[in-house]
Amino acid sequence: KKMENGKAEINCLEQKVIHRVSSADKVTLQDIARESVGTICEKMHRLPEEYLEELKNGLRVILEGGNGSQHREEFFILQKFVQGRTDLTAKTLVRAHRVQLEILVAINTGIQGFLHPSISLSQNSLIDIFGYKRCRNIACQNQLPADDCTCEICNNTSGFCNLCMCVICNKFDFEVNTCRWIGCDLCSHWTHT
């Protein structure tokens, strides 16, 4: 206590709680990509929020590719694990931990926006994006195929709708209102110039 002008002032040090995670409870990105949804979900419920944020940040760094070929290789290994699994269905993903699902979707799509704290999609939307039933362009979110298009390109489930995807490379980029895109007014399909 300090006495200043007759008033008592209490100086308190804010105590910081440090959560220690035992090595048995730790979860890695490789664990999320390889192990069953239920097992990882159970472990993730016991982990502190700070640890879960570190996992997401670790994947963000990998997706940014700042470390060159090492990060690209690490990402391709994670993506190979995820895309090779047959147990990742809408039925099993409903039981996934929220952060686990965000990480699985980011690995499957290669889009780090799903890990951003300000982007909050519903669990069902994330599951639809993972299963290529909803456009993976976060700004679009159309059901696939968009506008009930029955063309061969739209029936090839690439994860983007005909309003977002390039019909040549089957990819999307976040540049809008540029000369990089050209569209057909008749069928609403787009391509990179």
Question: Which tens digit of pLDDT belongs to each residue from 107-138?
Answer: 998 888 899 888 889 999 999 999 988 888 88
Q: What is the CA radius of gyration of the chain?
A: 22
Residue identified by tokens 């035992």 is: 22
- Domain ranges (residues) in the chain: 29-131, 149-192
Q: Which of 122, 86, 112, 95 is nearest to 38 (CA)?
A: 95
190-192 vs 7-9, strand pairing mode: unpaired
Secondary structure letter of residue 166 according to DSSP = B
Q: In percent, how much of the chain has pLDDT > 70?
A: 82
pTM: 0.78
Residue identified by tokens 């002008």 is: 5
Is it the case that residue 5 has pLDDT exceeding 60? no
Is it the case that residue 10 has pLDDT exceeding 50? no
**φ and ψ at 4, to 5 degrees?**
-135, 120
Position with higher pLDDT, 88 vs 67: 88
Helix axes 69-83, 49-64, angle to 10 degrees: 110
Residue 17: per-residue pLDDT = 45
Peptide bond between residue 145 and the one before it cis (omega within 30 degrees of 0):
yes
Residue identified by tokens 């100086």 is: 11
Residue 183: per-residue pLDDT = 80
Residue identified by tokens 């994947």 is: 59
Residue 151: per-residue pLDDT = 79
pLDDT tier, 68 (very low <50, low <70, confident <90, very high otherwise) = confident
Is it the case that residue 90 has pLDDT exceeding 80? yes
Diameter of the chain by CA atoms? 82
Distance CA 180, CA 193 (A): 5
Residue 27: per-residue pLDDT = 92
Is it the case that residue 14 has pLDDT exceeding 50? no
pLDDT digits 0-9 by tens, 137-169: 888 888 887 777 777 777 776 777 777 777 777
CB distance 65 to 120 below 8 Å: no
Residue 16: per-residue pLDDT = 45
